[in-house]
Structure 1
Amino acid sequence: MGINCREFLEYVVQPTLKQLGVESPKVEQLLLATACHQSEMGHHLQREGGIGLYGITETMHHNVWDHYLAMDPDLASQVRGMASQHEFPKSPHSELVTNLRYATAIAWMVYRHKGVKLNEQTSANKLTDIWQRCFMDRPISFKERDEFTRCCEKFDPNKKSIAA
């Protein structure tokens, strides 16, 4: 059982990005493709060391906080505000599994931490390059690259219809 893509976009991704001051169909596309590839939209919550919809590793999570958000207290406060008051201090990594808005914010921070800037002409192949650079710490196969590119194409905002 996974999450409906259209509903995930409408109820999680878009509100999270709006709260962060981001309005970009390409960022939405990248995040949806990431969730689609990393967890099959929630079919798997742990793969290759990464957890949650986005397959974020504990190392990635720490790096975002220690080397990116720590340098921007206002942004850190916004992201921390999405986390649970009670659970985050006890088990911050579990928030990546149980809190979809927080996980979405952290996924976008992983990309921002790596300097990602998108424009509306960014191609599916370029999004795949970005995902590989930001989320994979190993070489990927042609098959894996093709699978991510297909996820990007599935969520192309220019097509105006996101499959469920």
Structure 2
Amino acid sequence: MALTLATTFRDDWSPQDFVTTIIEPVLCHLGAFSPAAVQLLLGTAVHESMGLRHRRQIGGGPARGYFQMEGATHDDIWTNYLAYRADLKAKIESLIRPGNDKHYELEHNDNYAAAMARAHYRRQPAALPGFDDIDAQANYWKQYYNTPLGAGTPAKYKSDWNTHVPSAITYRTSC
């Protein structure tokens, strides 16, 4: 599937627009689409960015973009995961705008940031939690994205989901 990049930098995404314009097309581009993956990435972005509002970590920390990925995590994915998966690496590289640094892209290119968040989840040993199982998604996020030593909690993830994601959000079922 050809990916139509969202080329306009936006800081006013609604969850529905973010799903339709960023997450679903990126997952289709990567060949990693499932409704459960879409929902997990939306939950991650909504929680990490406080409702799709913050592209930089509050308090001056190193995390960037709506998925709040740290540079060290980003670099580890490239070195220890994508380096051994040429097809996925090429698909993610195709999302980087010419001349831009990858760390800059984490903050300013939502397509790239979504792809890197999905790559982060793809390298985990456990299967993704099911669609509409927000409890399981919150626990999965904590275990594999925030990590057991991180400050986040599944309860806060679920609270952010309930606060920022409307129940009427729609998801495509396939690419």
Q: Please classify the TM superposition score into its range, dividing by the shorter chain length.
A: 0.7 to 0.9
2:137 paired with 1:124: no
The Cα shift of 1:113 comes to 1.6
- Deviation for aligned residue 1:122: 6.8
Which residue in the other structure is 1:59 paired with?
Answer: 72
What is residue 110 of structure 1 aligned with on the other side?
120
Unaligned runs of 5+ in 2: 1-10, 171-175
In structure 2, the CA distance between the partners of 1:116 and 1:95, relative to structure 1 (3 Å rule), is: farther
Instruction: Answer whether contact 2:130 2:136 (CA < 8 A) is retained.
Output: no
TM-score between both structures, scaled by the size of structure 2:
0.78
> Structure 1 residues 151 and 42, CA, compared in 2 at 3 Å: closer, same or farther?
closer
- 1:62 and 1:124 map into 2 onto residues whose CA distance is 29
Evaluate the alpha carbon distance shift between residue 77 and residue 6 of structure 1 in structure 2; reply closer, same or farther with a 3 A threshold: same
Q: What's the offset of the Cα at 1:92?
A: 1.4
**Match for residue 36 of structure 2?**
26
In the TM superposition, structure 1's runs of 4+ consecutive aligned residues that sit over 6 Å from their partners are none
Which has the larger helix fraction?
1
Q: TM-score scaled by structure 1?
A: 0.83
Q: Deviations over 1:53-74 (max 9, x none)?
A: 1000001101111111111011
Shift of 1:121: 5.5
1: distance between equivalents of 2:132 and 2:21? 24
Gaps of 5+ in 1: none
**Which residue does 1:76 correspond to in 2?**
89
- Paired positions, count: 155
CA contact (8 A) 1:51 1:57 kept: yes
Q: CA RMSD in A?
A: 2.3
Cα 1:40–1:3 change in 2 (3 A) is farther
Seq. identity, % = 24
